Amino acid sequence: LRRLALVKTFRPVGYPTLAFAVGDDPYELLAQGVAYVCKYASVVVFPPIGPELALPLLAARQNIYTDPQVPNAIEAKLYEVGGPGPDSPVLVTTNFALTYFTVEGEVERSKVPAYIAVIDTEGLGVLNAYADDRLTAEKIIKTVREYGVMDRVNHGKIIIPGLVAVLKMEIQEETGWEVIVGPEDAAGIPAFLKNEWKPN
Between the alpha carbon of residue 140 and those of residues 76, 114, 125, the distances in Å are 12, 17, 14
Residue 81: per-residue pLDDT:
97
Indicate whether 127 and 89 sit together in one domain: yes
Q: Is residue 40 part of a domain?
A: yes
Indicate whether 106 and 16 sit together in one domain: no
Q: Is residue 70 part of a domain?
A: no
- 60-80, pLDDT tens digit by residue? 888 877 777 777 899 999 999
Indicate whether 109 and 14 sit together in one domain: no
Indicate whether 88 and 161 sit together in one domain: yes
Contact 148, 142 (CB under 8 A): no
User: Mean pLDDT over residues 169-188, rounded?
Assistant: 95
Q: Is residue 182 part of a domain?
A: yes
Structure confidence at residue 126 as a pLDDT band (50, 70, 90): very high
For residue 6, pLDDT over 70 is answered with no
Indicate whether 40 and 92 sit together in one domain: no
Query: Which strand ranges, in their side-by-side order, compose the sheet holding 157-160?
Result: 78-81, 114-119, 90-94, 157-160, 178-181
Structure confidence at residue 2 as a pLDDT band (50, 70, 90): low
- 10-43, pLDDT tens digit by residue? 777 777 888 999 999 989 999 999 998 888 788 8
Q: Is residue 98 part of a domain?
A: yes
What is the CATH classification number for the domain harbouring 114? 3.40.50.11600
Contact 67, 40 (CB under 8 A): no
Indicate whether 92 and 175 sit together in one domain: yes
Burial class of residue 131 in the structure, from the number of CB atoms within 10 Å of its CB (0-12 exposed, 13-18 middle, 19+ buried): exposed
Indicate whether 86 and 163 sit together in one domain: yes
For residue 200, pLDDT over 90 is answered with no
- 42-60, pLDDT tens digit by residue? 888 989 888 888 898 888 8
Compute the distance between CA of residue 169 and CA of residue 159 in angstroms, rounded to an integer. 13
- 65-119, pLDDT tens digit by residue? 777 777 789 999 999 999 999 999 999 999 999 999 999 999 999 999 999 999 9
Q: State the total domains in the chain.
A: 2
Compute the distance between CA of residue 181 and CA of residue 188 in angstroms, rounded to an integer. 12
Residue 181 — φ and ψ, nearest 5°? -85, 120
Task: Read off the pTM.
Answer: 0.71
What amino acid occupies position 190?
P
Q: Is residue 92 part of a domain?
A: yes
Compute the distance between CA of residue 60 and CA of residue 58 in angstroms, rounded to an integer. 5
* Nearest in space to 163 (alpha carbons), one of 128, 132, 192, 118: 128
Contact 108, 81 (CB under 8 A): yes
11, 37, 64: which is the final residue of a domain? 64
User: Quick one: which H or E segment has residue 102?
Assistant: helix 97-110
User: Mean pLDDT over residues 157-174, rounded?
Assistant: 96
Q: Is residue 73 part of a domain?
A: no
Indicate whether 85 and 144 sit together in one domain: yes
Q: Is residue 126 part of a domain?
A: yes
Indicate whether 26 and 125 sit together in one domain: no
Indicate whether 120 and 181 sit together in one domain: yes
Q: Is residue 69 part of a domain?
A: no
Indicate whether 130 and 87 sit together in one domain: yes
What amino acid occupies position 60?
A
What is the span of the domain harbouring residue 151?
A: 78-195
Indicate whether 146 and 182 sit together in one domain: yes
